[in-house]
Structure 1
Amino acid sequence: MRIVDVNEIYSPTGGGVRTYIDRKIEVLAGMGHELIVLAPGREDRIEERPGGGAVHYIKAAGMPFDANYGLFWDAEPLHRRLDALDPDVVENCSPWKSAWIVAQWRGRAIRSYFMHNDNLEAYPKRWFKQLASGKRIERAFSWYDRYLGHCLDQFDTVVTNGPSLTRQLAARGVHVDATMPLGIERAHFSPDLRDESLRTALLQQCGLPPHAHLLLGVGRHHPEKRWPTVIDAVQCVGAQAPVGLVILGQGMDTKTLERHIGDNPHIRLFKPVYDRRRLATIMASADAYIHGCGTETFGLVPAEALASGTPLIVPNGGGTAEIADPRYAEVYEQRDARSCADAILRLLARDRPMLRRAALVASSRVRTDEEHAADLVAHYAAVIAAKAGQPARRSA
């Protein structure tokens, strides 16, 4: 099966979608399938991947406010590339121009809308939370759900990346055909990688002794990641217990976060770690992983941390909350620094060996990306088979 993913939110500079797609290319190739990504770029170029699959960058305009991403406007180069590739499945994940470009293409492939996020949760509900309730914001933006429903009608199947997103959409009347929970490359992550000397060195970077508690956060420096909530919580806890926070990432909010941290020596920002082995070792060596974003539909990084045997401190929203079993995790009210601080203190008060043991048991049960890919391909095969017995698809 050849799948072409027309993906405006694929960026070579990072992000959960890039991590997911890069690994998906590799996994599908190992299963005998091919995934080719059509992504916006500053120039036309093709990046072949070892073992099969590729990323085709197509010159496109940059996205306002975030130069890491681009936007497709012109259908012709995309249609020409799709004609040449002649895929069995075309995936799309953006509700804007790329969705209509894919829908209007006249090729034989089935069209799949693969939803990585919920724009209503990620943006209006974040922007206007202080002004109105969630329900009121939903009513004000009901036009978006109507638009989204019309957009999704053009596709043969609508897939989400987890039950949290499916529930959110269903509650607003948006139809979903299949829920395909994501998975991680579990082979990279293991509790066995825990390195006490590395843990001590990271605490030293935070100006703290080995008996202190090391919290780890990983993710872009972007408003939706809610790092100020985490930082405020750790600063609050620091008055009661020795705790250090290391955040791996970079982005548009880096300077803002540096100012937010101020002269606190116990909170450090470090650049992203792209070497998977090194990242997995850092994860396994932390005392807990802490997350700020409550609108992500699947917690990729928290799942990697759990696969490393690391306890979790996560908000009560989105996909991350779904893996937060009380045996190895503490949950807080999203966007609430005081609640986050209380969750940290609860975790610090727990029996460390028992907490870690519970996370160790859970580490082997984290869903893998191979399982996700196999389920997704099986779904596409079923859709293709069902469509083969139907009348020709109408043009969008």
Structure 2
Amino acid sequence: MRYCDLTLAYTETSGGIRTYIDQKRRYLDEHTDDEHLLIVPGERDHCERQGRLCKIEIESPLIPGCEPYRFFWRPDKIRRALADQQPDVVELGSYFLSPWAAFRYRDERRAEGVPTLVSVYFHTDVAHAYVGAPVRRFLGEGMETVSDTLALWGHKLGEILEDGAESAFGQMFRKCDLTLAATPAQAARVADYGVQGTEIVPLGVDLNLFSPERRSEAARERLGVAGDDILLIYCGRLDSEKAVNLLIDAFERLPATPRFHLVLVGEGPLRAELEARAGRLGRVHILPFEKDKSAYATLLASADLYVTAGPHETFGLAVVEAEASGLPVVGVDAGALRERVRPEWGRLGPVGDARAMAANIREILPRCHDMGRAARRHVMEAGYGWDSSFETLFDLYRRGLSQHTDSEGGGTIERSEGNGDRD
């Protein structure tokens, strides 16, 4: 069997989606005889192989303002790569030009009598995060000081554009044989796009790598964190979608005692702005994306509390890694954070409210240690292991291929009923 991931969200500094794909390739390499093909945009056309793993880069332009991400613009090259490599399953992690090349490849293979599936994993709520929310923020909230009427129309325009995006992407999702999501709530969100029957495939975490036992006083000392200081940490992309500026806004509202430090780990278009703010404040550290997973796990476990303000998370993998590392979490009451954070090990506050976030940090501070232990215990008991995630995923693919093989017609396989809200 040969599986393929087709995505633009795979770079040297990518987060959750790259982790998911890397872990999938590891699982296939260690536990199966199957092959994996990864197709991503790159600086130049390039192909590299390592045993049963193949990576194809297709020359593509950078996305302005989102470097180092690139945008597929040659669907013919994608189709040629698929035709050359002949995967049995193509999983879409990007929703723009690449799906149509995958659909044409699938249809051509099926015309030849070869069972082939195209699936889509709902990694990102594109309609909300990249269409509706930005428009409402800039044309709605941005106009509130100018005119209530203009602000209202800005909000309405954001809703109209988001509805249109849901319809457009929903049309693409319905052409897939399987839609996949990490949580029941995200499966329900896919239903807003007009797609039923989404299957739940939770993401995982390396429970041996991410552990409180990796806590390091030396790592804290390198950041200038004294014994009684409190270290807050965020790990992820530094962009407006993640609302990282609000983390510094909340930090500014914390009391002088105890002494707080804030570490933001990652890359993104807001890095220069964040570094400028950090330079003025002191005790705010903007660190580069950490490629060394062991060093990253040590840094995470050496903090006292994880903070995140992004309202658009579809799973919150970095949050689960923090919980596995024994950290309580302070976040916002939106997206997948509602499923990841419970009062026993964290707090959620209103979206965009730095004052409320600072208050939540102060509230849980006396119980940080006990709440961190509860977070670790929850992750262990919930079974957030990668192997179980991929056992679920590949069982779905085997059944899907078998269903298509047994059917007399062609076209996409029949979707299950329901909206995916099940265990």
Counterpart secondary structure, 2:232:
strand
| Structure 2: distance between partners of 1:342 and 1:136 | 34
- CA distance in 2 between partners of 1:301 and 1:147 (Å): 30
SS of 1:294's partner is: coil
Are residues 1:356 and 2:380 paired? no
Q: CA deviation at 1:249?
A: 1.5
Are 2:133 and 2:158, in contact at CA under 8 Å, matched by a contact in 1?
A: no
User: Can you list the C-alpha shifts for 1:212-244, whole angstroms capped at 9, x where unaligned?
Assistant: 211111112211111111110011014464211
For 1:82 and 1:281, the matched residues in 2 are separated by 39
Counterpart position of 1:36: 37
1:274 is paired with a residue of what secondary structure? coil
Give the unaligned 5+ runs of structure 1: none
- Corresponding position of 1:235: 252
Aligned partners of 1:174, 1:168: CA distance in 2, in Å? 9
Paired with 1:97 and 1:363, the residues of 2 have a C-alpha distance of 37
Please tell me the residue identity of whatever aligns with 1:116. Answer: H
Q: Does 1:290 align with 2:307?
A: yes
Indicate the percent of aligned positions where both proteins have the same amino acid: 28
Which of the residues 347, 365, 369 maps onto 2:386? 369
Q: Bigger shift: 64-73 or 224-233?
A: 64-73
CA drift of 1:98 comes to: 0.8
Give the CA deviation at 1:169: 2.5
- Where does 1:9-48 land on structure 2 (aligned, <5 Å)? 9-32=9-32, 33-48=34-49
CA offset digits 1:328-374 (Å, max 9, x no partner): 111122222112111111121x3344223323423423511111111
Q: Residues 70 and 357 (structure 1 numbering): CA distance in 2 closer, same or farther, change over 3 Å?
A: closer
Is 1:334 the equivalent of 2:351? yes
- Give distance in 2, aligned partners of 1:321 and 1:234: 22
Q: What is the TM-score normalised by the length of structure 2?
A: 0.86
Report the equivalent of 2:146.
Answer: none
Deviation at 1:136, TM superposition (A): 7.1
Runs (4+) off by over 6 Å: 133-136
Gaps of 5+ in 2: 142-150, 413-423
Contact 2:132 2:162 in 1 (8 A): no
Look up the match of 1:153: 174
| Residues 206-245 of structure 1 aligned to structure 2 (within 5 Å) | 209-239=226-256, 241-245=258-262
Q: Is the 8 A contact 1:23 1:185 kept in 2?
A: no
RMSD between aligned alpha carbons? 2.2
- SS state of the match for residue 71, structure 1? coil
What secondary structure is seen at the aligned counterpart in 2 of 1:123?
A: helix
CA distance in 1, matches of 2:41, 2:86: 20
Contact 1:47 / 1:54 at 8 angstroms: preserved in 2?
A: yes
Partner of 2:147: none
CA contact (8 A) 2:311 2:333 kept: yes
Partner of 1:122: 129
3-state DSSP class of the match of 2:205? coil
The 8 Å contact of residues 228 and 260 in structure 1, kept in 2 or not, is answered as: no
> How do 1:164-203 residues align onto structure 2 when only pairs under 5 Å count?
164-202=185-223
Superimposed CA distance per residue, residues 87-115 of structure 1 (whole angstroms, 9 cap, x where no aligned partner)? 11011122211111111122241111222
2:324 to 295, 307, 324: 307
Whether the 8 Å CA contact 2:174–2:195 is kept in 1: the answer is no
Whole-angstrom distance in 2 between the partners of 1:134 and 1:27:
44
Letter in 2 for 1:179: I
How far does the alpha carbon of each residue in 1:166-197 deviate from its partner, in whole angstroms, 9 at most, with x for none? 12232453334312111122221111111234
Which residue identity does 1:142 align to in structure 2? D
Partner amino acid, structure 2, of 1:248:
V
Match in the other structure for 1:112: 119
CA–CA distance in 2 between the matches of 1:57 and 1:230? Answer: 35
Contact 1:182 1:367 in 2 (8 A): yes
Structure 1 pair 65–352 and aligned structure 2 pair: CA distance change class (3 A):
closer
Q: How does 1:252-267 map to 2 (within 5 A)?
A: 252-267=269-284
Shift of 1:164: 2.9
1:65/1:392 Cα in 2 relative to 1: closer, same or farther (>3 Å)? farther
SS in 2 for 1:38: strand
Q: C-alpha distance in 2, partners of 1:209/1:78?
A: 52
- C-alpha contact (below 8 Å) 1:163/1:181 kept by paired residues: no
- Does 2:88 align with 1:88? yes
Q: Displacement, 1:286?
A: 0.8
Amino acid at match of 2:38: V
